[in-house]
Chain A
């Protein structure tokens, strides 16, 4: 029955994805004091979570394609394609984080009349911190899955969304503490 097969697959994948979302939400609940202290954090957060999932998801998808095509091997050292992908992920995070921080800053100034530059610094620090954790997780898990005969494309999407949400919230918390 195609209906039940689709239903099973969708609900199973969604369970994994929403479990990560709930874990991230729980962490968010523990930093409510910080959310109150930093204006515009709720404007910044949805975009930040979106960025994190997109960058890690594309990174593992590109690596999976390269692995299947034989263009690269699942090893970390002397790997030109991996080096290029990691450099791109780092650069993208820095640029998009700054843009998100600036958007949150202006939205906060225009809609709520609050001028607070700290959100731009928090965005940049949290972006870099989350990348330092998330990129190795995405790369090593993709390589591990490929070496063990799995298709990383089937697993990495929900996986990086889940881990990305959790690392993002922790990174934002650390960035707030630093600032």
Chain B
């Protein structure tokens, strides 16, 4: 069978079918498995929008609703957040930062697992120690930055702010971030090792899990700290 006809057959393979023709074409013509997968997934016989919606709707709803559950704790603190504007400015910035760190730690830990840099005694891995140190220092610097920036922007936009309040805002930003870095590492290591031992790809599960947990806890810890300090 010619290459053109083989590729036409690939596009007609049903989406959920694990067809041997994919391996055959990959071996014979050196076309990467990812390309062949894409041809099968979004080929002329598949309805692209339908495939995307079906694949991503569940995880999208889960991630968004988990964040909204965290939002309930913010609603409890509504009065304080609206009275102290820098706290309100902090929320989206902290959410972005914590989500990003969840993504970085999960993807880097998964890569370490695949490359054999983390074994059974994961706590002895110097690569993991280095990652923890990099994330800890970066998160400390970034939380000081957003704490100062939110206070300055809040002050400029007319919010009442004393030096004591500024120190409390800074403490909230730094403390909640440091707690969350610990949580993100625990989730990534426990979840990553568990998924990897079940011979599944941690890339498919770990990032949504770590970022959702981080987002939810970020809002809850933030609300608790606001309640404690103000």
Which residues does A use to contact B, with CB under 8 Å?
A: 2-3, 6-7, 10-11, 13-15, 17-18, 20-22, 24-26, 28-30, 32, 35-36, 40, 42-51, 53-55, 58, 62, 65-66, 69, 71, 80-81, 83-85, 87-88, 91-92, 95-96, 99-100, 103-104, 107-108, 111-112, 158, 161, 165, 169
Contact = CB atoms under 8 A, between A and B. Distances in A.
Given A7-B134, A21-B95, A22-B149, A88 B48 contact: yes
B150 A25 contact: yes
Contacts of B61: 95-96, 99
Contacts of A53: 99
Given A46-B91, A99-B65, 18 more contacts: A3-B134, A14-B100, A14-B142, A21-B92, A25-B89, A25-B150, A26-B89, A28-B88, A49-B92, A50-B95, A69-B35, A69-B38, A84-B48, A88-B48, A88-B52, A95-B61, A99-B64, A100-B64
Name the residue among B48, B50, B68, B100 with the largest chain A CB count within 10 angstroms: B68
Given A28-B91, A29-B89, A51-B64, A3 B71 contact: no
Interface stretch (B77-85, B160-168, B180-188, B197-205): B77-85
Of listed A42, A48, A58, A80, residue having the most chain B CB within 10 A: A42
Given A13-B100, A26-B89, A46 B48 contact: no
